[in-house]
């Protein structure tokens, strides 16, 4: 019996929170050998000097090579790079071709196929719009049939993951039309490893602050994937009116959406959600109020349906922004692209407490 296939992997941008979280999971993946890690200003440092918790688990040293320089040395490139840099790296490689590694982009460069929409969301023209069509949007619950064999995957954004999971059953069931208000809280790790005025601990620890109200860059990718999976059942007037807020915590995202006009009563809506996610290994539809403590440090998402008088409906979704919103979802996408079990190497119980 032949040994299971193993992949040589590189993480570009391994010194950030997302990159570090990705490394933490890849080091224990049974079919991946993490052979290269790179960073910008921290090139030359040992990885366990940046993340002391990795001491004894890896001797890797952060390199300064471009992704293109690594393409002949590895089988898969994980790009945990600032917006714009991943697109330039992919442009350096060009269209997918024999001999090139698989790519999983954890940034926002390849999530939105429309270059004009992307430019409005990110504030500048896309560096290589002609290559975006070569990427599959990597939300497994939406694109499970497209991921096997995929060579290039765009990992969804953290808020986008939670918002899409909260609304995806209604998109498939024809229950989305008109504006859908939404509100979300996120932890400080979502702002990256470099401190800023709004992520500095004294400014954040005792504060909740709204930011990018009705203009968050993840909204277009949510609207796009919901229209895709809806296959014409999402109304022309549908839009997501999203207000995010920073919360005094490190990890986690909790969003609540307020859809209107869902077909049927609460029992029908609950059945729609349970049926939609019945075969999704990492989504739980729960009867209790979802909380971050039950998903922290995992790839799991918790979804709950709330009802009120007059047919009022709200749906909440909780995820870990660094895991399900980034690193573990990226590994799930690699697993599915390889034909491996989705949960391989990433199934875990939430941290206690």
Residues with catalytic roles: 158
6's CB contacts (< 8 A; 6+ apart) are 31, 32, 33
Other C-beta atoms within 10 Å of 290: how many? Answer: 22
Strand order in the sheet with 102-105: 32-38, 7-12, 76-79, 102-105, 152-154, 136-137
Burial 229-254 (b: 16+ CB within 10 A, else e): bbeebbeeebebebebebbebebbbb
CA–CA separation, 61 vs 33, rounded Å? 15
State whether the Cα torsion 221-168-143-327 is positive or negative: positive
Cα three-residue angle 286-165-267, rounded to 5 degrees: 45
Strands (E), the chain: 7-12, 32-38, 76-79, 102-105, 136-137, 152-154, 179-186, 209-210, 239-246, 253-257, 283-286, 301-307, 313-319
Q: What are 199's strand-pairing partners?
A: none
| C-alpha span between 80 and 105 (Å, rounded) | 7
Q: Is 184 helix (H, G, I), strand (E, B) or coil?
A: strand
C-alpha span between 301 and 350 (Å, rounded): 11
DSSP secondary-structure letter at 254? E
Q: HSE-up of 52 (CA within 13 Å, CB side)?
A: 0
The span from the CA of 150 to the CA of 136, in Å, is 7
């Amino acid at each position: 019996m032949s040994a299971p296939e193993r992949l040589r992997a590189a993480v570009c941008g391994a010194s950030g929170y997302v990159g570090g979280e990705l490394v933490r999971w890849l080091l224990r993946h049974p079919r991946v050998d993490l052979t290269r890690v790179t960073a910008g200003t921290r090139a030359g440092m040992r990885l366990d000097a940046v993340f002391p918790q990795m001491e004894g688990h890896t001797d890797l040293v952060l390199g300064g090579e471009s992704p293109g320089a690594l393409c002949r040395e590895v089988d898969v490139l994980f790009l945990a790079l600032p917006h714009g840099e991943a697109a330039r790296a992919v442009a350096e490689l060009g269209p997918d071709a024999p001999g090139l590694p698989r790519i999983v982009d954890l940034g926002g460069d390849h999530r939105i196929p429309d270059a004009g929409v992307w430019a409005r969301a990110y504030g500048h023209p896309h560096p290589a719009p002609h290559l975006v069509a070569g990427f599959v949007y990597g939300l497994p619950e939406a694109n499970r049939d497209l991921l096997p064999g995929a060579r290039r995957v765009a990992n969804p954004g953290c808020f986008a993951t939670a918002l899409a999971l909260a609304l995806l059953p209604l998109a498939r069931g024809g229950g989305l039309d008109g504006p859908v208000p939404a509100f979300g809280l996120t932890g400080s790790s979502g702002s990256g490893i470099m401190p800023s005025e709004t992520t500095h601990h004294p400014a954040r620890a005792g504060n909740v602050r709204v930011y990018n109200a009705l203009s968050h860059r993840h909204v277009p990718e949510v609207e796009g994937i919901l229209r895709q999976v809806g296959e014409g059942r999402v109304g022309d007037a549908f839009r997501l009116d999203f207000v995010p807020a920073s919360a005094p915590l490190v990890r986690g995202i909790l969003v609540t959406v307020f859809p209107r006009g869902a077909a049927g009563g609460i029992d029908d809506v609950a059945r729609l959600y349970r049926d939609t996610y019945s075969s999704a290994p990492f989504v739980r539809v729960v009867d209790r109020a979802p909380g971050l403590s039950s998903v922290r440090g995992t790839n799991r998402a918790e979804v709950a349906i709330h009802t009120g008088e007059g047919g009022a409906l709200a749906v909440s979704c909780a995820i870990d922004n660094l895991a399900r919103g980034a690193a573990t979802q990226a590994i799930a996408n690699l697993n599915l692209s390889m034909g491996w079990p989705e949960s391989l190497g990433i199934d875990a119980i939430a941290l206690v407490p």
